[in-house]
Amino acid sequence: MIRSVRILLRLITIARTLARHDALAALEAVKIARTVVWIARLVSRRKAEGRPGQKLARALTELGPSFIKLGQFLSTRADLLGEEVAGDLAQLQDNLPPFSTAEARATIERELELSIDELFESFDDKPISAASIAQVHMAVTADGQEAAVKILRPGIEQAFEQDLALFYGLAELVESTQPSLRRLKPVEVVGTFEETVRLEMDLRMEAAGAAELSENFEDDFTYRVPAIDWQRTSRRVLTMERVGGIPMDDRDALIAAGHDLEEVLYKAAAIFFNQVFRDGLFHGDQHPGNMGVDTDGNIFAVDFGIMGRLDYRTRCSLADMLMATIARDYHRLAEVQVEAGYLPAGKSLDTYAQALRSVCEPIAGKPLQQISFARLLAQLLQLTESFDMPVQPQLLLLQKNMLMAEGVSRRLDPELNIWVLAQPLIEAWMREHRGPEARVRDGALQLLQSAERLPQLISNLEKVAHDVANGGLGLHPKTFEALQGRARTQKLSLVLGGLSLALGLLLAATVWF
């Protein structure tokens, strides 16, 4: 009861804020707290300028840190909000008034158990940025290294916990009162949001993500990830190498500095491709504010709080989908998604292939420069609603970052498409990982994994037979004899079958290699 009252009171505050920014459509769409929304709409008939997504972004900013993070999270969900609203939320400015220098210094000293003077030769009391989760100060370490120090906002965890209870309450309300929206799994969406923000609020996790990304590009000087100062890093404090340069989308400044825009875009394309396909680990928030170009023309990145991951199977599925799309083989495109487990059982493969054709044919034959692969992926993901397909969070994050990359590319040079520049890398990766030789290797690997499980399977069969023999399963004697004979047959079949398959693959390998 107390929880319901708190949710209602908070809803009233939210509705008033949304009404003030003419952004009540968000609550109206999910049809919850209709009375509260109706009153708010009645009291405030204000008409604000801008698109619905822009109005919503302004309202979320006023509602505070948790709502800003929620807006950024929802910007990956074009399937829920539509492409325009999601795009507007992706531009949500995560800028808040800074907290006091005294609190920043106190947090550092409490977390690292040393005084500021022991840790740093100098520490700039004025932050260079202040966002919903943390703010950043420039400093020079005691051993003379220029550093950026990120400090978590005081009380952010408690504020997040309070708002999280509200988000769960609203999600449960939607699921219980709006059957048509259950497919979107609002409670599960909030759970994913909770996991994402909790990781962001542990700055050690951000440090670990940056360090892993840096290792992946250890021999590639075109991409610079700041080094982590682990001695000055903890759960609430992150210290890393200071990097700087020209913002990625500042075309005039890049030209004035003498940088070749096509070369910059080629590097960006290669970096993005290598993160996604080669490594399966990519920077999850690649907006221009988090990327820049240094004096050598190389690209650097900051803010690694959100990282995306794609396992090898998902990467292969994406490559197969791309190949099928290029070949205009929509039946194969549908098959790949079935093999990946995206299309639920019972749905018509032919009907789904027809839906894919309706999305892909309008761009067929167009020059690559005129195609937005991010928007194509977004449209493919939007088909999930019609076919009750489960949402793939990793693909949604990938789509958001592809859209950001395309936006930067077009601002720097409208005649170039970042994916055209990456095309040779894509083709080489497909030959290596999806060609005949690769498929033989994958088959051999699967066989090896099956062979490794074979002894355990045989042991399990023997254990069952032993239990039955000792009366552990209370079977009729004739049933037991039949099972025992079948177990011996299955054991022999498994061994012979495994050997036959191994020989077959070895012969195939000799043909291909």
**DSSP secondary-structure letter at 93?**
-
**In the beta sheet, which residues pair with residue 239?**
149
Indicate the DSSP class of residue 236. Answer: S
Out of 88, 285, 303, 320, the active site residue is: 285
What angle (nearest 5°) sits at the alpha carbon of residue 268, between those of residues 363 and 317?
Answer: 50
Phi, psi at residue 240, to the nearest 5°? -140, 165
Task: Compute the distance between CA of residue 216 and CA of residue 377 in angstroms, rounded to an integer.
Answer: 26
Q: What single-letter DSSP state applies at residue 365? A: T
Which positions ≥6 away from 216 have C-beta within 8 Å?
274, 275, 278, 279, 281
* Residues paired with 149 in a beta bridge: 137, 239
- Cβ proximity of 249 and 237 under 8 Å: no
CB-CB contact of 436 with 512 (8 Å): yes
Q: What is the DSSP letter of 220?
A: -
SS3 of 30-79: HCCCHHHHHHHHHHCCCCCCCCHHHHHHHHHHHHCHHHHHHHHHHCCCHH
CB 89 within 8 A of CB 71: yes
- Structural element, H or E, at residue 395: helix 393-412
| Helices and strands, counts by H and E, the chain | 22, 11
Sign of CA dihedral 283, 288, 290, 293: positive
Contacts of 243 (CB under 8 A, 6+ apart): 148, 224, 226, 292, 294, 300, 302
Q: How far apart are the first and last CA of the chain?
A: 70
Active site annotation includes 117: no
Question: What distance lies between CA 451 and its chain's CA centroid?
Answer: 34
Residues 97 and 250: their CA atoms lie apart, in Å, by 25
Q: Which residues are catalytic?
A: 285
